[in-house]
């Protein structure tokens, strides 16, 4: 096969696949997308996937829409233009209910300016304030005095109507990753915690570095500990927890002597009892956080309704473990503050609360806060009223009663339907 023939065959296959994909999505009413951009080998790319539920079987379908090269800086307007073009190309721009991204300042700003106007979309997040980039000049400043500006600078400012983006959802897994890394480091403001954590982790890093340098080192660890050490990886969110957990497990199963023998062979300082106790506490604290990340980053049998029921027990577990800690209470305080700052709006989103209630696995059992449940139930009732067909319009005796009859009828029907769902067994 010649090169022109091969190129032609690939182009035809791509065209056919795209046509089938557009036809499949044309039959779906609601679609959600995820997107990310990255740089590799001095080139930048943007990737977009689409997800929807089959209206008949309720099976989830996922497809890759694009993996395209981006040229120039990854500014918010460049990302908005790329997303808008891809959505329009597949004719799904008006069907997308949410787009999930990481917490990069460029994505946050793109959706704040060009996305659907709601409270989840238009907040100024700390990431935007801490990462200045191109286009930050148009941040609104409320001033009573009159400011004179050049016409050219005014024309360069985007008005938010150039592109149309859907509602924005910040990736919960990435938020939890920031809590476990960036926010957890704030515990070092406590001098006692800072001293013991630095001493323990410096010795752990010495072990991890030695274990990966040669096959002989790996064999020495395996002979003494019966297990290999896990080395932390910056690209894996739970790797630090897993690495510490492995050391704690070796000490628990094989005794301190196993780790001492390895340290002696590598000529590095041995972990003292205080440092081992700290690592045990660290593992216990980060364990529920790691499990929450694993649950939320699952690719199957996971819906938006899992988000709040996963975060709520996480807060409870941290509260329960805190009184028994000796060295790591500042770490729990830092994680709890990070959860509050990064998820406060998510905990108050009625749509996410309703999504949790509508999952038979959780219903109203995932929280004891009546105010939160009421907010979600009110949202469900409001949405259900719009789904019931107007009925009994001519059953009343007066024009006034006839006008309001649909409201009464729909309210009663939706209330009974919701009560029946909540009362039945899962």
Write down all domains in the chain, each with its CATH number in brackets: 18-125+158-170 (3.30.420), 176-347 (no CATH), 354-423 (no CATH)
Of the candidates 66, 67, 62, the one whose C-alpha atom is nearest the C-alpha of residue 50 is: 62
Q: Please, are residues 183 and 239 in contact by the beta-carbon 8 Å criterion?
A: no
Residue 350: helix, strand or coil by DSSP?
helix
Give pTM, 2 decimals: 0.81
Across the strands, what pairs with 48? 35, 66
Q: Computed from CA positions of residues 130, 339, 176, 238, in that sequence, does the dihedral angle turn out positive or negative? A: positive
Interatomic CA distance for residues 350 and 337, integer angstroms = 22
| pLDDT at residue 138 in the model | 37
| pLDDT at residue 303 in the model | 86
DSSP E strands, 128-262: 168-170
Q: CB within 8 A of 98, min separation 6: which ones?
A: 32, 33, 166, 167, 168, 169
| pLDDT at residue 136 in the model | 39
Return the percent helix, strand and coil in the chain, to nearest 5: 60, 10, 30
| pLDDT at residue 420 in the model | 84
Of the candidates 189, 182, 184, the one whose C-alpha atom is nearest the C-alpha of residue 103 is: 182
| pLDDT at residue 409 in the model | 54
Q: Which residues of the chain have pLDDT under 70?
A: 117-161, 388-414, 425-426
| pLDDT at residue 32 in the model | 95
| pLDDT at residue 86 in the model | 94
Residue 99: helix, strand or coil by DSSP?
strand
């Amino acid at each position: 096969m010649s090169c022109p023939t091969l190129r032609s065959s690939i182009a035809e296959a791509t065209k056919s696949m795209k046509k089938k994909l557009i036809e499949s999505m044309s039959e779906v009413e609601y679609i959600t997308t995820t997107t990310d951009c990255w740089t590799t080998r001095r080139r930048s790319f943007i990737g977009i996937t689409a997800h929807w539920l089959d209206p008949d079987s309720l099976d989830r379908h996922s497809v890759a829409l694009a993996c395209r090269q981006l040229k120039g800086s990854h500014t918010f307007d460049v990302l908005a233009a790329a997303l808008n073009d891809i959505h329009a190309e597949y004719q799904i721009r008006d069907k997308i209910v949410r787009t999930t991204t990481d917490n990069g300042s460029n994505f946050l700003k793109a959706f704040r300016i060009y996305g659907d106007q709601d409270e989840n979309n238009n907040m100024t997040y700390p990431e935007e304030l801490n990462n200045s980039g191109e286009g930050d000049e148009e941040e609104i400043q409320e001033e009573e005095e009159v400011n004179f500006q050049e016409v050219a600078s005014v024309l360069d400012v985007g008005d938010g109507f150039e592109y149309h983006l859907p509602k924005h959802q910040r990736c919960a897994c990435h938020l939890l990753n920031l809590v476990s890394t960036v926010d957890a480091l704030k515990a070092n403001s406590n001098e006692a915690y800072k001293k013991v954590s630095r001493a323990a982790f410096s010795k752990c890093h010495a072990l991890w570095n030695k274990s990966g340098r040669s096959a002989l080192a790996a064999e020495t660890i395996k002979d003494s500990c019966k297990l290999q050490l896990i080395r932390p990886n910056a690209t894996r969110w739970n790797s630090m927890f897993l690495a510490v957990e492995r050391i704690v497990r070796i000490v628990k199963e094989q005794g301190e002597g196993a780790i001492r023998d390895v340290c002696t062979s590598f000529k590095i300082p041995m972990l003292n009892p205080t440092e081992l106790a700290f690592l045990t506490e660290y593992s216990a604290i980060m364990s529920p956080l790691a499990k929450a990340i694993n649950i939320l980053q699952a690719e199957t049998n996971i819906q938006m309704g899992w988000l709040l029921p996963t975060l709520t027990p996480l807060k409870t577990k941290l509260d329960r473990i805190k009184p028994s800690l000796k060295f790591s209470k500042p770490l729990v305080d830092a994680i709890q503050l990070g959860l509050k700052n990064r998820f406060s709006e998510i905990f108050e989103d009625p749509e996410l609360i309703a999504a949790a209630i509508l999952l038979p696995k959780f219903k109203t059992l995932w929280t004891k806060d009546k105010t939160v449940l009421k907010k979600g139930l009110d949202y469900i009732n409001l949405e259900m009223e719009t789904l019931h067909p107007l009925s009994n319009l001519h059953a009343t005796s007066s024009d006034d009663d006839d006008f309001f009859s649909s409201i009464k009828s729909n309210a009663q029907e939706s209330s009974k339907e919701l009560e029946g769902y909540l009362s039945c067994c899962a």
